[in-house]
A and B are shown apart, each in its own frame.
Chain A
Amino acid sequence: MSHGSRKLIVSGLARVEGEGALRVTVRDGQVEQAELNIYEPPRFFEAFLRGRSYTEPPDITSRICGICPVAYQTSACNAIEQACGAELDPPLAELRRLLYCGEWISSHALHIYLLHAPDFLGYPDAIALAREHRDIVERGLALKKAGNAVMEFLGGRAIHPVNVRVGGFYRVPGPSEFAPLADQLRRALELALDTARWVAAFDFPDLELRHDLLALHDPGRYPIERGTLATTGGLAFTPGEFPRHVTEQQVPHSTALHATLDGHQYLTGPLARYSLNSGSLPPAARQAAADAGLGPQCRNPFRSVVVRAVEIICAVEEALRIIDSYHRPDRPAVEVTPCAATGHGVSEAPRGLLYHRYELDGDGLIQSATIIPPTSQNLAVIEDDLRRVITAHLDLDDAKLTALCERAIRNHDPCISCAAHFLTLSMRRR
Chain B
Amino acid sequence: MSDIDPTRGAVPVDAVRAVVIGVGNCYRRDDGIGPAAAAEIERQHLPGVRVVISDGEPAGLLEAWAGMDLAIVVDAVRCVPATPGRMHRWPARQLEGGWTASSHGLGIPDALDLGRALDRCPRRVVLFAVESADLRPGAGLSRAVATSLPDVVAAIATELRRAKVPPGRSGRP
Which A residues are within 8 Å of any B CB, using their own CB? 13-19, 40-41, 43-44, 63, 66, 110, 114-115, 125-127, 130-131, 134, 137-138, 141, 144-145, 148, 152, 157-160, 417, 421-422
Contact = CB atoms under 8 A, between A and B. Distances in A.
Nearest to A125: B110
B117 interface: yes
Contacts of B55: 66, 159
A114 B63 contact: no
B118 interface: yes
Binding site of B, secondary structure by majority: helix, strand, loop or mixed?
A: loop
B99 interface: no
A210 B113 CA distance: 40
A141 B137 contact: no
Contacts of B60: 148, 158-159
Contacts of B144: none
Given A126-B114, A141-B59, A15 B103 contact: no
A18 B103 contact: yes
B105 A145 contact: no
B137 to A, nearest CB: 5
B2 A110 contact: no
B118 A134 contact: yes
Given A43-B137, A141-B59, A145-B63, A15 B106 contact: yes
Given A43-B137, A130-B118, A159-B57, 19 more contacts: A15-B106, A18-B104, A63-B25, A63-B27, A66-B25, A110-B59, A114-B58, A115-B105, A126-B106, A127-B114, A130-B114, A134-B118, A134-B119, A137-B114, A141-B62, A144-B59, A145-B59, A152-B2, A157-B1
- 8 closest A-B pairs (Cβ-Cβ)? A157-B2, A130-B117, A127-B113, A66-B55, A131-B117, A15-B105, A127-B114, A144-B59
Contact of B106 (A41, A114, A131, A137): A114
B136 interface: yes
A295 B16 CA distance: 50
A51 B100 CA distance: 34
13 contacts: A15-B105, A15-B106, A19-B103, A66-B25, A66-B104, A110-B57, A114-B58, A126-B106, A127-B113, A137-B114, A138-B118, A145-B63, A148-B60
Contacts, number: 73
Contact of B59 (A18, A19, A114): A114
A152 to B, nearest CB: 8
A115 B104 CA distance: 12
B18 to A, nearest CB: 21
Interface in B105-138: 105-106, 110, 113-114, 117-119, 136-137
A115 B110 CA distance: 12
Contacts of B118: 130, 134, 137-138, 141
B106 A159 contact: no
A16 B2 contact: no
Given A130-B118, A137-B118, A417 B103 contact: yes
Nearest to A423: B105
Contacts of B59: 110, 114, 141, 144-145
Contacts of B114: 126-127, 130, 137
Nearest to A45: B137
